[in-house]
Amino acid sequence: MAKAVPDGVAEALSCTLHSSGTARNSGYRLDTVSFKHYLKEFHAIFGIAPAPTHTKGARDMTQSFQIVPVGHVRKKQDRSFIHVDRPFTDALLGLGGFSHIWVLYWFHENDTPEKRATLRVHPMKDPSNPLTGVFATHSPARPNLIALSRCRIRSIEGAMIELDDIDAVDGSPVLDIKCYIPDSGPIADVRTPTWVQRGDKK
């Protein structure tokens, strides 16, 4: 099982920011050496093996990706926060102009070989619901334990984003944050299975 993120790990894994120094790009980049150290520490904490180095002839090798958290969910009494790790705080610029965000995070307390191997479940843990493939559910048991929540922003102060709520436990690694931009209108002709409609009425 994956280990919980200890307090202060964001500071311990902080990377050095350097100006890009170009006229066309006034942003920041992560120092390569520091970022490699960040990856190494992340793999050690979560027990994840680094992605293999692909060679020209290794076409049959399963492709893998390296992902590091940009922050962590923090729950304090009845309040919900995202603490953005120091290397990524510059990415918050402009986010205060939005009311909602999409948060992608990792079901770290659910990370076991058995959960990753689960491909069919009874939705909502209700045996009366038909056995369904996990891609057709929001089940936390799935091959890649990525969760997605749409959240309302209450405030942003420094590296802390306070949310109305988020369906995640304290310490959940946040993989990405995206601003919520509404479409031109509601989606028409939405179709859902009977078990979804039945659940909405409860």
Q: What is the pLDDT at residue 65?
A: 80
Is it true that domain 71-153+168-183 has CATH number 2.40.30.70? yes
Residue 12, burial from CB neighbour count under 10 angstroms (0-12, 13-18, 19+): exposed
| 104-144 pLDDT tens trace | 999 999 899 999 999 999 999 999 999 999 999 999 999 99
Whole-number Å distance between alpha carbons of 185 and 79: 31
pTM of the model: 0.69
Taking only the tens place, the pLDDT of each residue in 78-102 is 999 999 999 999 999 999 999 999 9
pLDDT at res. 26: 39
pLDDT of residue 22: 33
Among 134, 135, 116, 114, smallest CA distance to 125 is for 134
**Domain residue ranges of the chain, discontinuous segments joined by +:** 71-153+168-183
